[in-house]
Amino acid sequence: MLDIVFDGSFMPHGHCLLWRADLLFLTLVGDGLTVIAYSLIPIALIYIVKKRIDLKFNRVFLLFAGFIAFCGLSHAMGLVNIWHGYYFIAGLIKFTTGIISILTAIFLWKIMPQILAIPSQLELQKQNKELLLAKEQLKESNQSLEEKVKQRTATLEKLASTDPLTQVCNRRVLLEKLNDEHDRAIRYHRNLSILMLDIDDFKSINDSYGHDEGDKVIVAFAQTLQKNCRALDYVGRYGGEEFIVVMPETNIDEASQLANRIIESVSEISDNNIVSFSCSIGAASLKKDGSLSELIKHADELMYQAKAEGKNRVVS
């Protein structure tokens, strides 16, 4: 069998080159370099396919790798044939190279529409730009939405915590804050005083001047309370015409002073639009380990004592 393949009747290619050194050199170096390159290119293609399994048309890379590898083999056989006439093997290699080349060409044409459908780099850059723009717009609208939600939340929080007539804290928030202040005062052994305030003879104001006029009096009273409070104090509407002023870090003497200042301020309200009125105040301070309900009850009792003693006064 080997004899048929290599029967010695073939003439080595070297004779064609006349064994000339320059021709041999050109053929050897040219084919040698081609063989090296055609061995490295398939390795590179297989490496790409292995690393980028996401790439479409992977198979075409493998066909190219085979096609180039066989081209390399053909050139290698060309070199061998200079000395030994293995033309049968060379023919087989050329035949295989031809088959693979045809397969590659057919496959390439088959997938041509899909290759052409791949967006160009320019198109991708354009799409990328559009995406970035859309992302920016989305970010902006997100920000403005967040801003709106923040504003709406703040408005809702204000509505939920504010008395609609007087704009001071409503009863719920007043008691929550008072509870916090009470806990803090007990834990850190700090002073805490409150004023319980009630407008005197408010029913007769309503009866004589009407409900709207009564509302104006309540609003003016709340404003007067706020004006007289310090930054740390706060005012809340406890009931109809009843208010509480909370005074953290304040002892009973300081609380009484503020209460008397309020009595004076109320007597000075001489707005033509508002009927004159007065108020009674109970001023109480937190006792050592006293409960919040005891503090409120005590201030309430003192306020009623002020009413009983003739109104328009402070009892502490």
According to the binding rule CB under 6 A, does residue 295 interact with ligand GTP?
no
Bridge partners of 235, per DSSP, are 245
Among 87, 202, 234, 277, binds ligand GTP (CB under 6 A): 202
Q: Please give the helix or strand (H or E) that residue 246 lies within, else none.
A: strand 242-248
* Distance of closest approach, residue 197 Cβ to ligand GTP, in angstroms: 11
Helices and strands counted in the chain (H then E): 12, 5
State the Cα–Cα distance between residues 303 and 306, nearest whole angstrom.
5
According to the binding rule CB under 6 A, does residue 300 interact with ligand GTP?
no
The SS3 assignment for 305 reads helix
Q: How would you classify the pairing of strands 234-237 and 314-315? A: unpaired
Q: For ligand GTP, which is the closer residue by CB, 250 or 280?
A: 280
In 3D space, the residue among 200, 314, 191 whose CA is nearest the CA of residue 259 turns out to be 314
Stretch touching ligand GTP by CB under 6 A, among 33-41, 42-50, 72-80, 194-202: 194-202
* Distance of closest approach, residue 239 Cβ to ligand GTP, in angstroms: 7
Q: Please give the helix or strand (H or E) that residue 90 lies within, else none.
A: helix 87-110
According to the binding rule CB under 6 A, does residue 201 interact with ligand GTP?
yes
Residue 264 falls in the annotated catalytic set: no
Scanning residues 119 to 178, which ones bind ligand GTP (CB under 6 A)? Answer: 165
Among 178, 218, 263, 299, binds ligand GTP (CB under 6 A): 218
Among 199, 255, 284, 295, binds ligand GTP (CB under 6 A): 199
Among 39, 96, 162, 206, binds ligand GTP (CB under 6 A): 206
In 3D space, the residue among 166, 201, 215, 198 whose CA is nearest the CA of residue 282 turns out to be 198
DSSP character at residue 236: E
State the Cα–Cα distance between residues 267 and 276, nearest whole angstrom.
7
DSSP character at residue 202: H
Stretch touching ligand GTP by CB under 6 A, among 6-14, 68-76, 173-181, 197-205: 197-205
Scanning residues 18 to 57, which ones bind ligand GTP (CB under 6 A)? Answer: none
Residue carrying structure tokens 């009850």? 297
Q: Which amino acid is at 230?
A: R
Binding mask 232-271 toward ligand GTP (x if CB under 6 A, else -) reads: --------xx------------------------------
Q: Angle CA(306)–CA(311)–CA(314) in degrees, nearest 5?
A: 45
Stretch touching ligand GTP by CB under 6 A, among 36-44, 71-79, 152-160, 211-219: 211-219
* Distance of closest approach, residue 132 Cβ to ligand GTP, in angstroms: 57
State the Cα–Cα distance between residues 18 and 16, nearest whole angstrom.
5
* Distance of closest approach, residue 218 Cβ to ligand GTP, in angstroms: 5
Q: Which residue among the candidates 123, 130, 213, 241 is catalytic per the annotation?
A: 241
Question: Known catalytic residues?
Answer: 241
Binding site for ligand GTP (CB under 6 A): 165, 198-203, 206, 211, 214-215, 218, 240-241, 307
